[in-house]
Amino acid sequence: MKIDQSQISSTRFMYTIAFFLQSSALLTAFLSSITEHDSWIPVLIGGVLCIPLILVYRSLMVNFPENTLLGMLDTVYGPVVGKILGVGYVWFFLTLSALNLTDLGDFTKITVLTETPSMILAIFCVLVVVWAVRHGVKVVTRYSALFTITEFFIVFISTLLLFDKIDLKNFLPMFQLEPIKYIHSTHIIATIPIGELVVLLMLTPSVKLSRKTATKCWFLGVGMGMITLLVVLMRDIAVLGNTMRMFALPGLVTMRLIHLGESLSRVEILFAVALMMLLFFKVAVLCYVSTIAIAQMFKTKKYKNLALIVGIFVVYYGTILYPNNVEHVVISQEMMPFFWGIFEIVIPILTLVIAKIRKLPKKQPEKQKQKQEVQHAWDGS
């Protein structure tokens, strides 16, 4: 069922993947408190280990080009189990939207608008998001390339400006922590930024991809995103060393250290603005996906009328997710990798395996072609 009729190019989809990962640069603190100065290692390992997962997402997209993720579940598991899993995914999308919106509100409050309540920031952000969602996937993803490149540029410039503060000894000693800590961090990387890409399977009918283009888009997009994350993390470790684990936003602290004489300081605002931009777009994509998913569950194409109420729901839902920020970090580090793994790793892999066993999707066009040929033969006779 195609709810939004608009289409996006494969290039735009690739940049959407990239910015989706880049926006997780805010969450490097999740890793730094576990693997400290070795946090770049799990990012590298996680990136390599997730190649099969990316192939699963790509294969689902290529095999079910006309279906969203919920459609794929319906086709593979049947209407009853498919709907039950669909409800789970709707909840997952809404929860991700609420978590990212809360992160955006809190981050904006800490860095730029310190006097403004987070709720007001979230509501204004959601109003813009709703406007974009109402205009379809084309508008939601329009500036993905621009913001991905801007983030690249900011990361590159900031690394150059911090060159005199980089101390490579901060990476030493390597591999001195317990193995479980590396496993833990790799699990976080696999589920929190990379696994979240499963939401992009909801965009499948809006992107026309051949097998070759799909592989290119997924791997280039993930590559760009992971390189940004890795560079940000390595820059922060090289500058802050082991003190990194003391900060909730190490990237912001690193950028605060940039001083070029008297003229150029307070550059952290660049990092703040870039991250707000990326998080805003992540929230926009997540709200779009949530709205489309709800519309699909109810089999309606009037998704535009649902956008505003979904947005407002996400704002209020964010207030009841966790009691405080400390618990948010603890839950995200300890429980989330297992919980999110169900939606991001287990179900997609199972879906692809069952689809292969059941030889799904059935090739409808060929059947129709045969029927048409038979019809023509009858007409001819």
Partner 1 sequence: MGWILTGFALIAVIDLVPLILQRRGRAIAAFLTVFVIALTIAVLPALGVQIPPVLTFFDKLFKSIGLSY
**Is there a cis peptide before residue 348, judged by omega within 30 degrees of 0?**
no
Tokens of 327: 């618990």
Identify which of 272, 253, 250, 248 has the alpha carbon closest to the alpha carbon of residue 328: 248
Q: Which residues sit opposite 8 in a β-bridge?
A: 207
Q: Tell which one of 337, 344, 347, 355 touches partner 1 (CB under 8 A).
A: 337
What x-and-dash track marks residues 82-121 binding partner 1 by CB under 8 A?
-------------x--------------------------
Pick the closer one to partner 1 by CB: 29 or 54: 29
**Is there a cis peptide before residue 42, judged by omega within 30 degrees of 0?**
no
* Site stretch for partner 1 (CB under 8 A), options 43-51, 53-61, 156-164, 325-333: 325-333
Query: Is 70 among the residues that bind partner 1 (CB under 8 A)?
Result: no
Pick the closer one to partner 1 by CB: 230 or 331: 331
* 377, burial (CB in 10 Å: exposed 0-12, middle 13-18, buried 19+): exposed
Pick the closer one to partner 1 by CB: 107 or 313: 313
Query: Is 179 among the residues that bind partner 1 (CB under 8 A)?
Result: no
* Site stretch for partner 1 (CB under 8 A), options 50-58, 158-166, 314-322, 363-371: 314-322
* Site stretch for partner 1 (CB under 8 A), options 37-45, 190-198, 222-230, 332-340: 332-340
Q: Tell which one of 49, 177, 230, 312 touches partner 1 (CB under 8 A).
A: 312
Distance CA 304, CA 308 (A): 8
CB of 87 to partner 1, least distance (A): 11
Q: Which residues lie closer than 8 Å to 95 by C-beta, 6 or more apart?
A: 317, 321
Task: Give one DSSP letter per residue of 35-69, joined into a string.
Answer: HGGGTHHHHHHHHHHTHHHHHHHHHHHHH-TT--H
Distance CA 359, CA 366 (A): 15
CB of 248 to partner 1, least distance (A): 18
CB of 212 to partner 1, least distance (A): 37
Q: Tell which one of 164, 167, 334, 373 touches partner 1 (CB under 8 A).
A: 334
Identify which of 13, 17, 309, 2 has the alpha carbon closest to the alpha carbon of residue 134: 309
Do residues 276 and 120 make contact, with C-beta atoms less than 8 angstroms apart? no
CB of 328 to partner 1, least distance (A): 8
Distance CA 324, CA 327 (A): 6
Query: Is 316 among the residues that bind partner 1 (CB under 8 A)?
Result: yes
Pick the closer one to partner 1 by CB: 163 or 339: 339
Pick the closer one to partner 1 by CB: 120 or 264: 120
Residue type, 42: P
Q: Tell which one of 116, 242, 319, 370 touches partner 1 (CB under 8 A).
A: 319
Q: Tell which one of 45, 110, 270, 331 touches partner 1 (CB under 8 A).
A: 331
Query: Is 163 among the residues that bind partner 1 (CB under 8 A)?
Result: no
CB of 250 to partner 1, least distance (A): 21
Which residues 269-308 are close enough to bind partner 1 by CB under 8 A?
A: 294-295, 297-300, 302, 305-306, 308
Query: Is 54 among the residues that bind partner 1 (CB under 8 A)?
Result: no
Distance CA 30, CA 336 (A): 11
* Distance set, CA 283 to CA 103, 227, 296 (Å): 10, 22, 20
Angle between helices 79-111 and 69-77 (to 10 degrees): 150
| Interacting residues with partner 1 (CB under 8 A) | 95, 180, 184, 187, 294-295, 297-300, 302, 305-306, 308-310, 312-313, 316-317, 319-323, 327-328, 331, 333-335, 337-339
